[in-house]
Amino acid sequence: GAVVSQHPSRVICKSGTSVKIECRSLDFQATTMFWYRQFPKQSLMLMATSNEGSKATYEQGVEKDKFLINHASLTLSTLTVTSAHPEDSSFYICSVGDVGNEKLFFGSGTQLSVL
């Protein structure tokens, strides 16, 4: 399966600051990457689909101006949480899809804590 690197693994920040999370596909070129969010004891919720060279597609209820996604190359997608607030504290996970069989492979995740 695909090897996905995500950085940082943990972030603690003050309310009102912005946080950038990087997701890299290490072993193949990914035209599409996915960003999920997981609150404690809950399932993964798809936030947005990151498309290389074009705008991201956001799921209903996800604020595109708050969660900025950039997919400038075939191996890198970034998620920036702007003006973070305590309610944004969550586990953010990126994933890469294996074309043709719909399998998803996940990065190691980023635990964001906003104080």
Tokens 């595109």 -> residue:
64
Cβ atoms of 109 and 7 within 8 Å: the answer is no
Distance, first Cα to last Cα, the chain: 36
CB atoms within 10 A of CB 81: 24
In the complex, minimum distance from the CB of residue 59 to another protein, in angstroms, rounded to a whole number = 10
In the complex, minimum distance from the CB of residue 44 to another protein, in angstroms, rounded to a whole number = 5
Nearer to another protein, 46 or 62 (CB): 46
Nearer to another protein, 19 or 30 (CB): 30
Contacting residues toward another protein, per CB under 8 A: 1, 6, 32, 34, 41-46, 49, 93, 95, 97-99, 101-109, 111
Cβ atoms of 114 and 13 within 8 Å: the answer is yes
In the complex, minimum distance from the CB of residue 92 to another protein, in angstroms, rounded to a whole number = 10
In the complex, minimum distance from the CB of residue 83 to another protein, in angstroms, rounded to a whole number = 26
HSE at residue 14, side-chain half, CA atoms within 13 A, is: 2
Residue 10 token pair? 């943990």
Nearer to another protein, 45 or 62 (CB): 45
* Residue type at position 23: C
Nearer to another protein, 5 or 82 (CB): 5
